[in-house]
């Protein structure tokens, strides 16, 4: 199973939604609460290149982005294999090119 890290903040509805999505999939995650320490806040800024929004999600140290990005991965049927819930599909060159043109992550 993949290592999932989730940076959150108090009162964040999208953070709750992201945690619920992981819970529904049966995926354990490490929640990192912003404001809990200066070190945590600095780590967040460095890892997310100064992002101003939460949640910010990392899967196996790869920055996925926020909750909207997480949903895009799920809708593209890429989230489950990234989480280690299924095998990575064999994606052909044409599909990779199409995703690149659309600006989607691989």
Kindly give the pairing relationship between strand 62-65 and strand 56-59.
antiparallel
Strand partners, 4: 59
Length of the chain: 106
Domains observed in the chain = 4-102 (3.40.30.10)
| Residue pLDDT, tens place only, 75-104 | 988 999 999 998 876 656 666 666 667 765
DSSP 78-106: -HHHHTTSSPPP---HHHHHHHHHHT---
| Residue pLDDT, tens place only, 67-80 | 999 999 999 889 99
Q: Whole-prediction pTM value?
A: 0.82
Looking at residue 104, its pLDDT comes to 57
């Amino acid at each position: 199973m993949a290592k999932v890290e989730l940076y959150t903040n108090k009162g964040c509805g999208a953070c709750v939604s992201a945690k619920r999505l992981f819970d529904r999939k049966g995926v354990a995650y490490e929640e990192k609460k912003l404001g809990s320490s200066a070190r945590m806040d600095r780590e967040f800024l460095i890892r997310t290149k100064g992002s101003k929004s939460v949640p910010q999600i990392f899967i196996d140290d790869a920055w996925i982005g926020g909750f909207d990005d997480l949903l895009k991965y799920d809708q593209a049927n890429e989230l489950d294999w990234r989480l280690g819930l299924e095998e990575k599909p064999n994606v052909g060159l044409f599909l990779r090119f199409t995703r690149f043109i659309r600006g989607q992550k691989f």
